[in-house]
Amino acid sequence: MIKNNNSQFYIIGAGFAGQMIANDIKRKKVFGNIAAFLDDNKDLIGKNIDGIPVLGPIENVTPLLNSPDTSEAVIAIPTASSKKIKEIYEALTRSGFKHIKILPSISQVVNGTAHFVQAREIDPLDILGRTPVTISLKESLSYLRGKRVLITGAGGSIGSELARQLLSGGAERLYLFGHGENSIYQINRELRLLQSEGVGEKATVVPIIGDMKDREYIRYIISHTKCDVIFHCAAYKHVPLMEENPVAVIENNVFGTKNLLDASIEFGVKKFVLISTDKAVSPVSIYGASKFLSEKLLLQAAEKVKDKKQDFMFVRFGNVLGSRGSILPLFMEQIANGGPVTVTDPEMERFFMTIPEACSLVLQTGGVGQNGYSYLLDMGEPIKIKDLAEHIIIFSGHEPNKDIEIQFTGIRPGERLTEPLWLKEENPQPTEYTKLLKLEAMPLTFDLDELLVKLSEICISSEHTDFSKYRNSALLRDTLQKVIPELKADNSNTI
């Protein structure tokens, strides 16, 4: 962020969001001066708003601006489509702008609160993704007003975005639970900065460091925080890495989830929302198997609380663009290093959604979802990873396979060319809410409790541990394959 008070700002969009950003910059007097608004609205071009001229149309006027290479542009048009953002971005870059920011949180801006602190550097997500559905956070989060909300994995990509959006929900307390102290420190610091700048409503933010594998500690946390709502995002997620550490992923993702569910039942948590993944559908990887079992545990818990006015549900969706460890930051790093950009297979494709849109839909689901129901986010059409790589190379100002090579490396352990979002028998049906589908529950075809006993002998030590089974990854995979036949039997290089 340019913080030199000699900086010049051009605000793209002279509507209410742009005007709020302008007022924010002028009020603080530390960022710099506002040179002009840029807008395509013929009724505004040529006028002055609070002493700031409105220039346009954007495409025509940007080549005429003073010192665009040392100035900063802030795109503040909350209703703009991805196509329009792309056009604006290209016009700015052609004209020499090197510092371009954008207001990322459409829903918060639509709710009437836009702050300069929310602006971030524009990235490929803003011009490659579809135009996200706009959800009024204040309306959809009304069920959280005055409540205590706990997010597991709060330092991760999904958990941290949920936390940002929850600032608009009027929650009494926001508990940020995570295992990594650095990531929890970062999101805790960010939320406090946002609050100090007037973003969202007042909520007491409480960081909690802990491990969900610790059953007694989880009981302690749930009982002492008296949380009303849990969004369970925490999981080991990196597919190839998890193939090499299968016991660790089952211990964390399955038994950690069970610890949270058991404590939530015991201490009367009113809403429990599990974040699931398309990799849980007919899973071929250990990570997918762990989320498949987590879904089953959630539905089993929902059955136990059906007469207790508690709502336990899961929300399943595909890949989110920009998450830690995902392909977008990897591609950007590879491009910065001069390539090559590595793609596993030219035919590999995935469903994608931006993190803010996915989180808005998850939060909405928590309010409208019912106990024991399974939900699916409408991800649109799948995108070939090769095409995504080409778009990101072009975004970065290069030509694919001329400036930056695309190299195909082959499918890695636990991967498949396509990821189905649902089984045919789950028969997804639309709900009254845009982009939110409801799935039919699939009956269990195996004894879940019996399976957990076998898995616990492998994953969890006790005074009765049989060390011929403990941390035995081959036995773990064999045990899982008996109930998940699609799971691949690759036991090489595992711990």
Active site members = 279
Enumerate the β-bridge partners of residue 438: 375, 429
What's the maximum distance between 2 C-alpha atoms anywhere in the chain? 81
In this structure, what token pair is assigned to residue 213?
């594998």
How would you write 46-98 as a 3-class SS string? CCEECCEEEECCHHHHHHHCCCCCCCEEEECCCCCCHHHHHHHHHHHHHCCCC
In this structure, what token pair is assigned to residue 316?
């399943």
Distance CA 250, CA 88 (A): 46
Q: Is 459 helix (H, G, I), strand (E, B) or coil?
A: helix
- Between the alpha carbon of residue 83 and those of residues 24, 26, 79, 131, 245, the distances in Å are 27, 30, 11, 8, 42
Judged on CB neighbours under 10 Å (0-12, 13-18, 19+), 421 is buried
Report the alpha-carbon angle 295-206-359, nearest 5: 40
String of DSSP letters for 87-145: HHHHHHHHTT--EEEE---HHHHHTT---GGG-EE--THHHHSPPPPP--HHHHTGGGT
Whether the CB-CB separation of 164 and 186 falls below 8 Å is answered with no
Q: Is 148 helix (H, G, I), strand (E, B) or coil?
A: strand
Element (H, E) at 8: strand 8-12
Whether the CB-CB separation of 135 and 160 falls below 8 Å is answered with no
